[in-house]
Amino acid sequence: MISITGLGIICAIGNDAPAVLDSLRNGRSGVGAMKYLQSKHSYLPVGEVKLSNDEMKQMLGVETAAPVSRTSLMGAIAVRQALQQAGIGSVEGKRVALISGTTVGGMDVTERYFDQMKSDDSLLDLPQNNECGKSSREIAAMAGLGNAEVCTISTACSSALNSIILGSEMLKRDEVDIVVAGGSEALSMFHLNGFNTLMILDKERCRPFDDTRAGLNLGEGAAFVVLQKDAANSLAYVAGYGNRCDAFHQTASSDNGEGAFLAMSDALSMAGLKPEDIQYVNAHGTGTPNNDLSESQALKRVFGDSMPEVSSTKSFTGHTTSASGSIETVMCVLAMQNSFTPGNLGWKNQIDGGITPTMGTEGKALENIVCNSFGFGGNDSSLVISKSAPKDEAKADADCSFKVAAEVLITDAEELKGLKEFVSPMESRRMGKLMKAAYLSSLRALRDAGVETPDAIITATSRGMLEISEQFLEDIISNGEELLKPTLFMQSTHNTLSSAIAIRTKCHGYNITYSQGDESMDWAMRDAERLIRTGKAKAVLVGCFDESTPTFSSFVERAGKEAPAPLYAKSVVLCRC
C-alpha cells in the first residue's frame, strides 16, 4: 500500500498546510487583484501566492541575484515542507525520486527577458527556462534532493495528479524507496493571455458549478506529497487512480464527460470501492461553462443516486493549472484529517442538469475521497485517497514481455508532405511543423504495426511546442497583449501532440507526456514497459518529439553549444508478445 507521509503546499490561501487549512475552514478566498504578475490585463482577478520572488529566495536561503522562476521557488518551498513532515532528513543510501508536474515551467523568466536575450550575451543561461525539466531540477537542488532521480510530467492541468500516479506506480514496483510527487506552476503573462484568447477568464471571482459562472480565475502555487510503501507514519493512503483521455477536443470536454467518467471509474475499481463508499469529491470545477457541465455529467454517471458531497476549491485558489492536482490532493488529506468538507465558495444558482455542490460541512467523517484533475487535450485523472489502509492489490506483475512492433523516424520537413495521405487540408490547417511530424510518424508506425487504436499513448518532449509558443510570445510582446491568436495558445501545451493523436485514433486510454530534457524518452519507454509488463496494455504508442526554431537555436549557439535539431519525430509501437 502507498502511504502519504508528508504534505507541502503554498498557494493563494496560505504558505503552508496549517494556513491553508485555516483559510479552507473559514471560507477565505485568496483570489484578488494582481500584485506580482505584470500584465496589461490587471483587471482580471488572480490567485497569487502572497510572496515576492525575493521573499521566497530568502525563505529558501537562496542567495543568487540571478532571476529564478517562481515555479522553482514555490516548488522548493513545498517540497521542503513535505520532507520535513515526513521526517525525512538524510536521504543518503535511499533511492529517491522527485516527480513534478508543470507546463508553464520557467515561462515567467523567459517572457520577462525574451527580447533582451536576443542581444544580451550575459543572459544566455536563461533560455533553459524554456524546458519544464529545468524547473524540476532547480526544485530538487533547492530542496536538498540534488541526488534524486528527477522527472517532469507535462499534461497541462492534470500534470500534478499524474505525478502522484507515476510515483505510486514506481513504489509498487520497487523502483524507488521514497517519492516526492506533485507539481508547481507560476502565473505567467503567457498563459494569462492564452486563457484570455479562449474567452474563459471570469472578470469577477469564479463561481464553479453556478448557473451564472463565466469562466475561471488563474492561480498559482505548488504542492508535493511524500509517498512511501508500507510506512508507519501514514497521514492517508493512495488507494486508487486512473488517467484517461477524453479524446474529444484540445480545449473542451465532451458533453457526457467520457474521459472523466472513465478516470473516476478506474480509480474506484483499483481501490476496490463502490460509489457509496466515497464521502467527498474535490471536483476539477474550474468555473467554465463547459467543464462544470461536462464534469457534472461524469459525476452523475459514476455516482448516480449516491452522490457524495462535491465541491471545487478553485474559488479559494483560482485554477492553479499544472499544480492543481497536488494542491487539491493536499487539501483532501487536510479535510480527511480534520473531518470537514471545504465549501464551494460563491455558489448560489443551480445549473440545470448540474450537480449541487456542498457549501461545506464540519464534523464530517471522511473515509474515502475522490480528487479530480483534468487538463487540455482531455487529459483526465482521478485519485482515491483513503483514511484506512486499502487492501493490497493481490496481483503481482503479469511479467509479460514486449517487442518493438514498428518504429518510424522523421527529421526532414520535406517528408511532411506525406501527411496528405492521412489528413485533409482542413484537418491540418492549424498544425505546425512538430504536430505534422508527430502525427505522420505516429500514424505510419501504427499502420506498420497493424494497430488501429493503441491502449496507451506516451510522449516525450524536451521543449514541447516551441515554434507555436515562441510565436505566441512574440505576438504578446509586439501586440502589447492584444489581438492574440487562440489557435496558437490551444496548441502550446506539451501534451498537445499526445492528445491530437488520441483524438485521431479514438484512444481513451492512458495518456502521458514526459518533459525532462534528454531523459524524456527514457522515462516514456520505462512507463510503456511498465504498462505492458504489468498487463495493463497490449499495444503502446511511444513518441519522442522535439523541434527548434532559428531564435532558440541562436540562443544556444551564442552560449557556445550545439543547436538542437530543427525537427525530430520518432514514433515506436511497443506490443506485448
Partner 1 sequence: MDELIYALKEQIIDALNLEEMTPDEIENDAPLFGNGLGLDSIDALELIVLLEKHYGIKLASPAEGKSIFKSVSTIAEYVEKNRKK
Footprint of partner 1 (CB under 8 A): 197-199, 214, 249-252, 425-426, 429-430, 483-487, 490
**Residue 47 pairs with which residues in a beta bridge?**
219
* 337 contacts: CB under 8 Å, gap ≥ 6: 235, 236
**Between 50 and 485, whose beta carbon lies closer to partner 1?**
485
- Distance separating alpha carbons of residues 17 and 535, to the nearest angstrom: 38
- Distance separating alpha carbons of residues 320 and 221, to the nearest angstrom: 6
Amino acid at site 269: S
* Least distance from partner 1 to the Cβ atom of residue 82, Å: 38
**Between 232 and 483, whose beta carbon lies closer to partner 1?**
483
Angstrom CA distances, 372 to 106, 313, 328, 359, stand at 26, 11, 8, 18
String of b and e for 124-159 (b: at least 16 CB within 10 Å)?
bebbbbbbbbbbbbbbbebbbbeebbbbbbbbbbbb
The question of whether 508 is a catalytic residue gets the answer no
**Between 365 and 483, whose beta carbon lies closer to partner 1?**
483
String of b and e for 307-321 (b: at least 16 CB within 10 Å)?
bbbbbbbbbbbbbbb
**Between 290 and 338, whose beta carbon lies closer to partner 1?**
290
Query: Which residue of the set 132, 157, 206, 332 is catalytic?
Result: 157
What cell numbers appear for 327 in the block?
Answer: 494542491
Residue 481 CB neighbours (<10 A): 15
- Distance separating alpha carbons of residues 49 and 53, to the nearest angstrom: 10
Query: Which residue of the set 191, 206, 319, 507 is catalytic?
Result: 319
Amino acid at site 345: L
Three-state SS at 341: strand
The question of whether 41 is a catalytic residue gets the answer no
Q: 283, 228, 187: which is closest to 96 by C-alpha?
A: 228
**Between 471 and 553, whose beta carbon lies closer to partner 1?**
471
The question of whether 157 is a catalytic residue gets the answer yes
Residue 397 CB neighbours (<10 A): 11
* Least distance from partner 1 to the Cβ atom of residue 413, Å: 16
* Least distance from partner 1 to the Cβ atom of residue 45, Å: 17
* 478 contacts: CB under 8 Å, gap ≥ 6: none
Query: Which residue of the set 11, 245, 284, 544 is catalytic?
Result: 284
* Least distance from partner 1 to the Cβ atom of residue 471, Å: 12
* Least distance from partner 1 to the Cβ atom of residue 427, Å: 9
Angle of helix 324-338 versus helix 17-25 axis, rounded to 10? 70
**Between 197 and 513, whose beta carbon lies closer to partner 1?**
197
Angstrom CA distances, 208 to 258, 290, 371, stand at 20, 11, 15
* Least distance from partner 1 to the Cβ atom of residue 481, Å: 13
**Between 65 and 426, whose beta carbon lies closer to partner 1?**
426
* Least distance from partner 1 to the Cβ atom of residue 430, Å: 6
Three-state SS at 291: helix
* Least distance from partner 1 to the Cβ atom of residue 23, Å: 31
Per the CB < 8 A criterion, the answer to whether 342 and 335 are in contact is yes
**Between 252 and 409, whose beta carbon lies closer to partner 1?**
252
Among all residues, which ones are annotated catalytic? 157, 284, 319
